[in-house]
Structure 1
Amino acid sequence: MNNVQNNKFIPDYLVTPGEVLADYLDDLGMTQAELADRTGLTKKTINEIIKAKAPITPETALKFERTLGRPAHFWSNLERHYQDDLTRLAEQRRMASYLEWLKRVPVSAMAKLGWIPKLKNTFEQLDAVLCYYGVASPTQWQTVWSEYQVAYRQTARFEGCAEAVSAWLRQGEIQAQRIECAPFDRKRFLEVLDLIRALTTAPPNVFTPQLISLCASAGVAVVFVPELPKTGTWGATRWLGDRAVIQLSLRYKSDDHLWFTFFHEAGHILKHGRKTVIIEGNGLDDEKEREADAFARDRLIPPAEMRRLVKADGLSASDIKTFAAEIGIAPGIVLGRLQHDGIIPYKTHLNSLKMFYRWKSADDE
């Protein structure tokens, strides 16, 4: 069976240079021994070329040009195409062994998001997925994923959807590499966090570009990447060279969760070193997480201000709005904190104070 790709004929069989050479000898009525005499090559070399046990070297191609009447590049091209086809067919056999791994990759979801093309040919799809991950094979994918596991001891809980989580992380890397960033500057990052806190009252079309720009000026690449099914990820922090990366998925869609997650990840950057990889997901609870939680909590609402708020009895929507305006933060963040602390129930009409976001689709253009 043959394949035709983009009007390019790709055979799935091999024609050796030796077969072509044997045909030429038959047409000329020339024996292998006579060709050996005419070229100065040994009979063994001629026989090995015909049996595809030896290649046609550039020197041999020149000798064939003089004795058989076809230019040297003809013989050299035969050899080159044969070696290319040999490599391609061997790769196809290897690729066939990778198809079970491909089934675990969320291809449809990734294609829907535009991260990879959706292809009918399984081998082409596998190749597109490997190119997306930036690896030569699933073996190298496993090596890269294992490096994340070493850096982040709790990644084992993502084993059931490792291909999906790594696809989400990879998209973060791709987007982060497109952002022009200064080298990381801790002092500058602390300064911009105060500016970013004021952005919590702004709509996404305002705060998104400013958030990315301010963080980039301090050496932090902020990327927004939709989560993939069954991953349960809403944030991640890691380092790429001299820049830090904060990756947000908008999992819970409300402003209190988005901004708490951002400042939580900022806490990881400032407190937990460049070798730490953090992937936020369900069930995560350790000392680093608690430290990042405390950083975000106190950065968004200073402890003294929070104590002042909770002294009031029967907090109303108006009380929360007034307090939020006084400290320069979105009311939804204040409500989220009160709900988290058990002061106000989660299921309450006050949820109208929160802003809810959604991913922009092509229909919104």
Structure 2
Amino acid sequence: MAKQPTNEFQPDYAVSPGEILGDELETRGMTQQELARRTGLTPKHIVSLVQAKSSITPETAIKLERALGMPADYWLNLESQYQEALARIDEEAKLEHDLDWLKRIPIALMTKLNWVERRSDAKAQLVEVLRFFGIASVSQWDDMWPNLNVAYRQHNSQEIFPEAVSAWLRRGEIEASQIPCGPFEKAAFRDALDKIRLLTIERPESFVPRMQELCAAAGVAVVFVPALPKTGVSGATRWLNANKAIIQLSLRYRTDDHLWFTFFHEAGHILLHGKKELFLEGANGLDASKEAEANHFAEQELLPRSQFSAFIRRNQFNKASIASFAKEIGIAPGIVVGQLQHRQLLPRNHCNELKQTFRWAHE
């Protein structure tokens, strides 16, 4: 990312071409009425130009060139610089107004992760964050992420900043855009999930590239994006377009049972639900029935009902029996532990040694 110049002077005022024109007439001892006669413009128009109520057009610039001997380019450049200065002054005022929004963006971690550059000036930092989001101003944030404030309602047990959630989602979009994908094919994705299930016993350096490859071939980009503060999100699913979906994972809970359940849960959303919806795991205010359907899908994919029910009936939940059952059905033992704990068949502090714990490289 190219650095922006830091020594460029940006004045907080704008000098209009009309002011320059007025000074030029005074220097020449020429009245506005005389200039009107020389240019063929009306006296009213000349007054409007001097008072900066009218802009200098190419046609007007040519008339001034002939009447005053000052090049048309000179007047047009003055007009261009004046309009740019006005726009920058207006933009500075908007940035000043939007600085409170910036406080809800986790800048410290985003800069550590090299998502954005750190700026010493608050308004320059705001511009940097707007570039990251790919929006012109904070007003467009509401247009791009209209449902986040709905998803995170006040009764959420955690303090959640929708702005931080959107930053996490935006990073997922950026990374997903760099993953070449074939057009989405439901049957191909379903087949990919069967192969990915066999990867749960592998370490991340093995399973991550393989699952990304399998999903990309079926039209789904899988991205791993570190969780940001004030987000509380473990995963998300959405569609970039009709032929490309995103599964985004945060490793919020660190362990393999949560990671794989979240992945298959998100896959369930892709196979079972519409392409216009955003699914966020960890948010309130979402469609409870669709979340239940995705949960059921993940459970069935990871632990086939008949085999898991038979194992439960044995009522022997120790490390040896869990490891043996997991090997029998070809899945990581931590996933079995997690599901037993979820169903309150195993205390939360039992058999956790069978789970794999993951860490991000930057940690």
Report the alpha carbon displacement of residue 49 of structure 1 after superposing the two structures with TM. Answer: 1.3
Contact 1:155 1:279 in 2 (8 A): no
Which residue of structure 1 lines up, in the alignment, with residue 221 of structure 2?
Answer: 221
Contact 1:148 1:277 in 2 (8 A): no
User: Where does 1:131-170 land on structure 2 (aligned, <5 Å)?
Assistant: 131-147=131-147, 154-156=151-153, 160-170=160-170
Which residue of structure 2 lines up, in the alignment, with residue 247 of structure 1?
Answer: 248
Matched, 1:76 2:76: yes
* 2: CA distance, partners of 1:101 / 1:7: 26
Which residue of structure 2 lines up, in the alignment, with residue 51 of structure 1?
Answer: 51
**Matched residue SS, 2:161:** helix
Higher mean C-alpha displacement, 153-162 vs 322-331:
153-162
**Matched residue SS, 1:237:** strand
Report the alpha carbon displacement of residue 98 of structure 1 after superposing the two structures with TM. Answer: 1.6
The C-alpha deviation readout for 1:106-137, integer Å capped at 9, x for no partner, is: 22232232222221222222222222223333
Q: Which runs of 5+ in 1 are unaligned?
A: none
User: Where does 1:26-37 land on structure 2 (aligned, <5 Å)?
Assistant: 26-37=26-37
Which residue of structure 2 lines up, in the alignment, with residue 310 of structure 1?
Answer: 312
* 1: CA distance, partners of 2:127 / 2:100: 14
Report the alpha carbon displacement of residue 141 of structure 1 after superposing the two structures with TM. Answer: 1.6
* 2: CA distance, partners of 1:299 / 1:312: 21
Contact 2:152 2:160 in 1 (8 A): no
Report the alpha carbon displacement of residue 87 of structure 1 after superposing the two structures with TM. Answer: 1.6
User: Where does 1:191-230 land on structure 2 (aligned, <5 Å)?
Assistant: 191-230=191-230
Which residue of structure 2 lines up, in the alignment, with residue 261 of structure 1?
Answer: 262
CA 1:206–1:31 in 2, change beyond 3 Å: closer, same or farther? same
**Matched residue SS, 2:182:** coil
Report the alpha carbon displacement of residue 139 of structure 1 after superposing the two structures with TM. Answer: 2.8
Contact 2:148 2:162 in 1 (8 A): no
**Matched residue SS, 1:247:** strand
AA partner of residue 62 (structure 1) = I
Which runs of structure 1 show a deviation greater than 6 angstroms over 4 or more consecutive aligned residues? Answer: 282-285
Which residue of structure 2 lines up, in the alignment, with residue 357 of structure 1?
Answer: 358
**Matched residue SS, 1:291:** helix
Which residue of structure 2 lines up, in the alignment, with residue 297 of structure 1?
Answer: 299
Contact 1:215 1:221 in 2 (8 A): yes
**Matched residue SS, 2:108:** helix
User: Where does 1:263-278 land on structure 2 (aligned, <5 Å)?
Assistant: 263-278=264-279
Contact 1:39 1:63 in 2 (8 A): yes
Report the alpha carbon displacement of residue 182 of structure 1 after superposing the two structures with TM. Answer: 1.7
* 2: CA distance, partners of 1:313 / 1:35: 101
AA partner of residue 264 (structure 1) = H
Report the alpha carbon displacement of residue 296 of structure 1 after superposing the two structures with TM. Answer: 0.8
Report the alpha carbon displacement of residue 225 of structure 1 after superposing the two structures with TM. Answer: 1.3
The C-alpha deviation readout for 1:318-339, integer Å capped at 9, x for no partner, is: 3322322222211211222222
Which residue of structure 1 lines up, in the alignment, with residue 115 of structure 2?
Answer: 115
CA 1:58–1:187 in 2, change beyond 3 Å: closer, same or farther? same
Which residue of structure 2 lines up, in the alignment, with residue 321 of structure 1?
Answer: 323
RMSD: 2.3
Aligned-residue sequence identity (percent) comes to 51
Contact 2:56 2:75 in 1 (8 A): yes
AA partner of residue 328 (structure 1) = G
* 1: CA distance, partners of 2:247 / 2:11: 46
